[in-house]
Structure 1
């Protein structure tokens, strides 16, 4: 999955030939977890590189067959379609085309002269109907769409337990990366056999662990709150005892002792016992 990388990357995330009896098009996928404001230029460059690769292949074929390297009038290359598969939470707003990246403020006439280049962005969370899939991609995409809602994720698992029980390691790897959970990875590895993952069992263990963590966190928060309340009550009780002691000392005209008890804990405690405070 591509996050934020430099300009050096020229290798496609995924590239496949689409057949209609014979090769009909090149389909490519670029995975994005974040909005990349260079994406229109990146995809345009990737597509141009693919067209150049096809041209060189045709020229090499002519040289092998005819002894001369050329690209002729009748030669054709396959169209290329690049889809940006976007996994992020926030809406991908811009860029949607190469024009979104160009500054036409001092040359508006060029807007109609310079060809635009649209991006094909598909949001995993919002644009994909998982029911169109007939492989484990349905379950993978279903989890990605619910990754921020554990209750919805739990329901999805419950409704598709049989499919998850047969998930491959490749499928679980995508889920682990998208949920960013080391614990889920550990549970899945523990429940992997013969290249298949018993995702249901792993998920049950993971959710139980999350539940226990939440319970422990609740207990800890409760203890901390109780401690703070106890400390506050203790401070108030101490202040009340000291006030009563000061009043008794004042009534007996012992002004000097009032100053001493404020600084001398030992004297203060002896006087507390003396006056039954």
Structure 2
């Protein structure tokens, strides 16, 4: 796992950020999913698909982040399995990758139901009904139900997602009559460059500022205006700032022990340092020019260059000084 993957995973594990993403994706920003009702699950899904002659082959895949939501609706518990895939680069097979993860998740649920029924029968649990032949064969009873799995892909790049967003886009056949018989699989995608201003307002956590910062990073002037106009950047979470730095290449100086970072101040400090470096480089160039002019005994040109900026620039080019 690369540095970018580690940093984005650590950030997205925050339950407030995680809930924020799914409230946007499912409820258009309405605060329905509460962070405290999220419980993290093991991201390793292990299933046992049947091979030749009934042989069982362990198969394991890892999601980036996987959580279960338990909410209350009409006095009944409602569960959702929520997964996030973080991408620092586009993935041209993302629909298949997500489809595998989700399929393994559903397969694991079916196997868990089958194991639960088998255990209940072995222990002669009086609450366990006697299955008919079809139920016994599948291990999944008529009354059994699966928990819905929702996977969201969060792309942390500043450009558009230039890769397939559905299984159908990846197929060599585009005949509509054939495709009607091939189930499609679309990814749920969040990409900064594709978020409108209205959609960005759906977010209530630092995720909004992270998306805004990455989106504006292709234009340094817009990025500066964004930071200066938004007070939220004055107290940014350190994990969020690490994501912003890593994904944009903008180094925001700070004390590593600080939990909150003033991005506005850091941005001003960086600009001042850049200006200071520019002034120092300018002085070094002028000193080199003076040295060369004295060596060539061009005293009059040296005197003129002190007051004539255009003439000085011409001399710098003449001597190849940059």
CA distance in 1, matches of 2:229, 2:246: 22
| 1:152 corresponds to | 222
| 1:180 corresponds to | 249
Give, in angstroms, the shift of residue 98 of structure 1. Answer: 0.8
Unaligned runs of 5+ in 1: 232-277
CA distance in 1, matches of 2:285, 2:62: 49
Are the equivalent residues in 1 in contact too, given 2:158–2:214 (CA < 8 A)?
no
Give, in angstroms, the shift of residue 47 of structure 1. Answer: 0.8
Range that drifts further, 34-43 or 201-210: 201-210
Give, in angstroms, the shift of residue 36 of structure 1. Answer: 1.6
Aligned length: 220
Give, in angstroms, the shift of residue 67 of structure 1. Answer: 3.1
Give, in angstroms, the shift of residue 33 of structure 1. Answer: 2.7
CA distance in 1, matches of 2:225, 2:314: 33
| 2:107 corresponds to | 52
Are the equivalent residues in 2 in contact too, given 1:147–1:178 (CA < 8 A)?
no
Query: Could you say which structure has the greater relative contact order, defined with CA pairs below 8 angstroms and 6 or more residues apart?
Result: 2
- CA offsets, 1:153-177, max 9 Å, x none? 222222233x333322211111111
Are the equivalent residues in 2 in contact too, given 1:143–1:153 (CA < 8 A)?
yes
Give, in angstroms, the shift of residue 75 of structure 1. Answer: 0.9
Residues 139 and 59 of structure 1: CA distance in aligned 2, closer, same or farther (over 3 Å):
same
Are the equivalent residues in 1 in contact too, given 2:157–2:214 (CA < 8 A)?
no
- CA offsets, 1:150-208, max 9 Å, x none? 222222222233x3333222111111111224x42xx1235x43x33233333322232
| 2:211 corresponds to | 141
Secondary structure in 1 aligned to 2:79? strand
1:98 aligns with 2:167: yes
| 1:119 corresponds to | 187
Residues 90 and 160 of structure 1: CA distance in aligned 2, closer, same or farther (over 3 Å):
closer
1:11 aligns with 2:75: no
Name the TM-score, length of structure 1 as normaliser.
0.66
| 1:164 corresponds to | 233
Are the equivalent residues in 2 in contact too, given 1:94–1:100 (CA < 8 A)?
no
| RMSD (Å), alpha carbons | 3.3
CA distance in 2, matches of 1:225, 1:77: 75
Match of 2:318 among 213, 226, 229: 229
Residues 116 and 2 of structure 1: CA distance in aligned 2, closer, same or farther (over 3 Å):
farther
Unaligned runs of 5+ in 2: 7-58, 124-135, 290-312
Match of 2:271 among 194, 207, 211: 207
Secondary structure in 1 aligned to 2:157? coil
Give, in angstroms, the shift of residue 38 of structure 1. Answer: 1.0
Are the equivalent residues in 2 in contact too, given 1:17–1:23 (CA < 8 A)?
no
Residues 102 and 151 of structure 1: CA distance in aligned 2, closer, same or farther (over 3 Å):
same
Are the equivalent residues in 2 in contact too, given 1:18–1:26 (CA < 8 A)?
yes
Residues 226 and 113 of structure 1: CA distance in aligned 2, closer, same or farther (over 3 Å):
same
- CA offsets, 1:8-58, max 9 Å, x none? 993222223344413432222222232221111111111111112222333
Secondary structure in 2 aligned to 1:83? strand
Name the TM-score, length of structure 2 as normaliser.
0.58
CA distance in 1, matches of 2:319, 2:60: 60
| 1:238 corresponds to | none
Are the equivalent residues in 1 in contact too, given 2:68–2:80 (CA < 8 A)?
yes
